[in-house]
A and B are shown apart, each in its own frame.
Chain A
Amino acid sequence: EAGVVQSPRYKIIEKKQPVAFWCNPISGHNTLYWYRQNLGQGPELLIRYENEEAVDDSQLPKDRFSAERLKGVDSTLKIQPAELGDSAVYLCASSSGGTGAGNTEAFFGQGTRLTVV
């Protein structure tokens, strides 16, 4: 089992350019999360999916960020246009979902380190 797979691992772009990140969650996991981790801080949720539905996108800056999970499996997160302040590590995570306590463990990918110059 490869776990949660993210690509690319690293990305350097100039400001105002678009960028996209891809995530393949663990097979069978209905819940998918995108987190952003700024330097020296813990991860912060951007968006949470239950299958293909975005159930919590309250922290997603919708003027420039978008995400999709069309078939309820893998997901993409896009930034257009990127700003200097978007430099961070973008983490994808998945869990089996449901409200039972045993389903709340989130498994994380390796992350994509974005540098905007």
Chain B
Amino acid sequence: AQRVTQPEKLLSVFKGAPVELKCNYSYSGSPELFWYVQYSRQRLQLLLRHISRESIKGFTADLNKGETSFHLKKPFAQEEDSAMYYCALTKYGNKLVFGAGTILRVKS
């Protein structure tokens, strides 16, 4: 069965501190992994996808197939990063399977 696990409900860090939002998945095969973000009062939107291998707003995520993880990282958190972050996977675009989400709170 497809499953995405985000072990932290809330992650609170100070501005300028490093951030790592954890994501583990279970899937028999090679899925496509995403991070979606929802800022306050805004719609859910794509932050980044593993196939792009790019940095968005300073965030990066590396797919580790051995550990079945796709952790989201940023070296220096900013207040505007405060949001809800969802890890998700899909296979051939059939459907997105989401984790429960992690609230990131960046304190000044």
Tell me the A residues contacting B by CB distance below 8 Å. Answer: 3-4, 31, 33, 35, 40-45, 48, 56, 91, 93, 95, 97-99, 101, 103-111
Is B98 interfacial (CB 8 A cutoff)?
yes
Residue pairs across A and B with CB atoms within 8 Å: the count is 57
13 pairs of residues in contact across A and B, judged by CB atoms under 8 Å? A31-B93, A33-B95, A33-B96, A40-B100, A42-B86, A42-B98, A42-B99, A48-B95, A93-B96, A103-B93, A105-B49, A107-B46, A111-B43
Q: Which residue of B lies closest to A58 (CB)?
A: B95
Q: Which residue of B lies closest to A6 (CB)?
A: B43
Partner of B93, one of A41, A97, A108, A109: A97
Which size class do B's interface residues fall under?
20 to 34
Q: A42-B4, A42-B101, A48-B95 are in contact. Are A101 and B32 (CB under 8 A)?
A: yes
CB contacts (< 8 Å) of B44 on chain A: these are 43, 91, 108
Partner of A101, one of B51, B86, B94, B100: B51
